A and B are shown apart, each in its own frame.
Chain A
């Protein structure tokens, strides 16, 4: 219960800092919704940091594999947000290619985890 309270307070403080903080000049400021999407980008980065914690800390290799798979899906959402906020449509191409590559690498690594060869 004590750990839960400390963690909840830390997360609420981080999200409040993200929402209050003025927006840096990362994108073109004349495009619409840039402030909202920039704050959303920070929340995705926070989620990626949580899954990186699981990659570094995970007790077994299966935990690390789960976190790598999830990180691959998060990047697709990040590419989608970058598509709107910069107005360049080729970011979503990176998203599609990343989703393909992440799926194939997850399958290959889980076969390796199972202890079989790649040809079965």
Chain B
């Protein structure tokens, strides 16, 4: 029974991974790509790892999968945050259909 639930989690995670990478190709600028890709791929991979835990059970591989979930949830948003900040400081412009950019207005005088 738990392995069937694990396989459902794995297929959900595979679908999220695929949509995240599709967003990486389709969306127009760096920040939008970062949003789609980070959210979908992080939660998709965590779902795959949780499904692995449910299929394998309380063995060595299952507990390591749980440890890997904690690690991914803590670090992947930090890496996304660092990339977005670096891209904005490096002068990558927002997409031309963007509505507002408060960050550039506030950082005008500093750089």
Interchain CB contact (< 8 A) of A73 among B42, B64, B82, B89: B42
Contacts of B33 in A (CB 8 A): 54, 63, 66
Give the number of residues in A that approach B within 8 Å (Cβ atoms): 48
Tell me whether B83 and A54 are in contact (CB under 8 A).
no
Tell me whether A96 and B71 are in contact (CB under 8 A).
yes
What's the minimum C-beta distance from B80 to chain A, rounded to whole angstroms? 7
Show the binding face of A for B, using Cβ within 8 Å.
11, 32-33, 36-37, 40, 43-44, 46-48, 50-51, 53-54, 60, 62-63, 65-67, 69-70, 73-74, 76-77, 80-81, 83-84, 89, 91-93, 95-96, 99-100, 102-103, 106-107, 110-111, 113-115
18 A-B contacts, Cβ less than 8 Å apart? Answer: A47-B20, A48-B21, A50-B21, A50-B24, A51-B24, A60-B92, A62-B90, A65-B86, A67-B37, A69-B83, A73-B45, A80-B68, A81-B48, A100-B71, A103-B75, A103-B79, A107-B82, A110-B86
